[in-house]
Amino acid sequence: MADRILVVDDDPLVLELVEYNLRGRGYEIITAEDGQDGIRKFHEMRPDLVILDVAMPKLDGYQVCQRICEVSDTPIIMLTAKGHFEDEVIKGLDMGADDYIAKPFKVGELLARVRAALRRARSQPANDQLPSYHDDYLHIDLNARVVTCNDQPVKLTPTEYKLLSFLVKNKGRWLEFRQILENVWGFEYIDDIDYLRVYIWHLRRKLEPDPKNPIYLLNELNVGYKFEPQI
């Protein structure tokens, strides 16, 4: 069955452009012209992916993104007109978006991002291979999808789970930025070190006793990251 993609943008021409190109590649497309309509159609049609414009009247892209992420793991790609400014990007990723594309985007680039996001969403690692980690402070059981700090459960987004799994699976080993990006996000992303930084920062905030002085998620300039066991 064709993947179903919901595109939300208040500009009908953007909708037409995206719709034409995605439909031509065999995707099923649903469009919405504002945030409220977008949320309604999301619940009605249960798409596999959402492409969401940031600047919209009534309910903006961030708000829509947040509401969708509260109830589902569906990947979201944000369309931002201000892609050059990290703040906007980070805000989107903060709200739970999977990815962003800056306007003006190349159609080819959008298609590549769509493919990668759908592939990521499908590639849930086989359960029997998932590692776990336990010490006095931190418990990570990826099979049960349970992470606790000081016996308090921690809620992680799908991407955060994926990143943490990859790091824990290779615990004690330095992993290069590109290696992590390719494994967690896909080969299209090997230069997007910013994603990685944002997600590591999120994980540290959620898992580390002191996020500013991490002991689990370590960084070596120009090398990469590693998960350091404390036992």
Partner 1 sequence: MHESIVPTDVLYDVAMAVGTSLDLKKTLCTALQAIVRAFECTAGIVMLAEWQNDRLTSLRYECVFPREAQTLPSCREAAERAEILLRGQTKRTLALLSPKQEQLPAETTVYIFPLPQYGVLILGKQGSPLTPTQISALDPILHKVEQAIDHALRFQRLEQELAGLQQRYDTTSAMVDDFLTAVSHELRTPLTLIMGFIETLLDGRPGPLTDTQRRFLENSYQSSDRMLDLVDNLLTVINFQQGRVKLNKRVLFPPNIVDALAEKIGAVAAAKHVPFTVDSTWVGDRVCNCDPDWLEKVVFQLADNAIKFTPPNRPVHIESALQNDRWVFRVTDSGVGIPENELPFVFDRFYRGRNAKNEQSHGVGVGLCVCKNIIEAHGGNIGIKNNPTGGVTAWFTLPVEPAT
> Which residues form the interface with partner 1 (CB under 8 A)?
11, 13-14, 17, 20-21, 24, 81-82, 84-86, 103-108, 193-194, 221-222
CB 171 within 8 A of CB 133: yes
Query: Which lies closer to partner 1 via its Cβ, residue 103 or residue 171?
Result: 103
The smaller minimum CB distance to partner 1, of residues 154 and 190, is found at 190
Smallest distance from the beta carbon of 16 to partner 1, in angstroms? Answer: 9
| Relative orientation angle of helices 193-207 and 86-94, to the nearest 10 degrees | 50
Name which of 44 and 194 has its Cβ closer to partner 1: 194
Cβ 104 to partner 1 shortest distance, Å: 3
Nearer to partner 1 (CB atom), residue 11 or residue 33:
11
CB of 46 to partner 1, least distance (A): 27
Q: Please name the amino acid found at residue 151.
A: D
Which one, 104 or 172, has the nearer CB to partner 1?
104
What is the side-by-side strand order in the sheet with 28-32? 28-32, 4-8, 49-53, 76-80, 99-102
Least spacing, CB of residue 224 vs partner 1, in Å = 13
Q: How many Cβ atoms are within 10 Å of 113's Cβ, its own excluded?
A: 22
Q: Nearest approach, Cβ of 45 to partner 1 (angstroms)?
A: 24
Question: Which C-beta is closer to partner 1: that of 59 or that of 198?
Answer: 198
Q: How far is it, in rounded angstroms, from Cα 25 to Cα 111? A: 9
CB of 195 to partner 1, least distance (A): 12
